[in-house]
Amino acid sequence: MKYKAVLVFVVAATIFAAVAQAQDTPSLRPPGEAHPSADTASINVESDSVAPATSFCSYSFTVPGKLNSFLSFCVTVNGNIASLQSPSGFDYIAQGGVGEGYGVCDLSTGTSYFDWAYIDSGNWLAPVLLSNTSSAVKIARTTTDGLWTLTQTISKQAGVAPYAMITMALKNNSGIAKTAYLVRYADVDPANAPFTDTSFLESFDSTLYSVWGYEKLGKGHQVGLMLENIGQPTVPSAIEGLDQNTSDGPNPCNPAANYGGYEASVDGSVEFLWQLKIGAEKTGTVNAKYEQF
């Protein structure tokens, strides 16, 4: 296994040396279990969750077009992308059970917050819908301890190569500066045969700015989905694309635990990681996109 630039976070930690380091806490990790059926709303395993995890589509967006100029995706009430098609009929997320969403690790406390659609951490308040138009939806969620608010704007971007854009604004509601990991994850399943394949063995790789899963040349339909950072975060940061050797969502406080390097014939997933230094009562904003390739 190669470890490439994921070690940048070790270096970055020295930049933010005043902040306590995250701990590898296995109990915070989502269990390695099969995802629920994509057409059934997930049931949160945490009994004290205010808003249960769900993979049910509430907001839908489409960019008409031919082949890979077509894009269709939908978003849950909690801000997960539960389906993404490009070309039409080739869904990268809804196959094999939905797994997509966001995670936060407070590095000063080691507390993990996540919602992967098929499961969540049980420490988010109910989502607040801020706006919904034909091209975008804006959703805010605050953690049950009140320390963090994540506001997501998920929008369709038309063009020759359309994509789903995600803007995530993480606010530190506390009275002290903090450093946090912010994660976006997706269980990418291009699959050999849409909605009939059950193996979901694809290839995965990543760079500093992007991470992707795909069917390689000569296998299946030879399509893939990329999750890519866009531009510079608005606060001091370090970034990294990480492909995982598992389809399960990561532990936000140990985000590189399942990093696989280049992988062939695995049921893996994609993860993008931002390390953000956010001042007291300030907000750090990042942008990313999902795009067919």
Q: pLDDT tens, 30-70? A: 333 344 333 333 333 333 447 899 999 999 999 999 988 99
Q: What is the pLDDT of residue 12?
A: 40
Judged by DSSP in three states, 67 sits in: helix
Question: For 67, phi and psi rounded to 5 degrees?
Answer: 50, -125
Q: Report CA dihedral (138, 143, 148, 152) to the nearest 10 degrees.
A: -20
What is the C-alpha separation between 114 and 100, in angstroms, rounded?
Answer: 10
pLDDT of amino acid 279: 98
What 3-state class would DSSP assign to 36?
Answer: coil
pLDDT at 65: 93
Question: Taking the model in full, what pTM does it have?
Answer: 0.83
pLDDT (0 to 100) of residue 146: 98
Spatial separation of the C-alpha atoms in residues 145 and 24, rounded to whole Å: 21
Look at residue 9 in the predicted model and tell me its pLDDT. Answer: 43
Is the preceding peptide bond at 236 cis, omega within 30 degrees of 0?
no
Distance CA(171)–CA(146), nearest Å, equals: 10
CB-count exposure of residue 125 (10 Å: 0-12, 13-18, 19+): middle
Mean pLDDT of 249-274: 95
Residue 94 tokens, joined: 């809804």
pLDDT single digits (tens) 124-165? 999 999 999 999 999 999 999 999 999 999 999 999 999 999
pLDDT at site 68? 87
Asked if the model's pLDDT at residue 113 lies above 50, the reply is: yes
CB atoms within 10 A of CB 4: 17
Query: Tokens in use for 185?
Result: 């994850």
d(CA 258, CA 251): 9
pLDDT score of 293: 86
Q: What percent of the chain has pLDDT over 90?
A: 67
User: What integer pLDDT is reported at residue 88 of this predicted model?
Assistant: 86
158-216 pLDDT tens trace: 999 999 999 999 999 999 999 999 999 999 987 555 556 566 788 999 999 999 998 76
The per-residue pLDDT for 222 is 76
The rounded mean pLDDT for the chain is 83
**CA dist., res. 152 & res. 38, Å (int):** 22
What pLDDT does 6 receive?
38
Rounded Cα distance between 237 and 32, Å, is 30
More confident residue, 2 or 280: 280
Q: For the chain, which domains are there?
A: 4-27+48-292 (2.70.98)
Task: Supply the pLDDT for residue 64.
Answer: 95
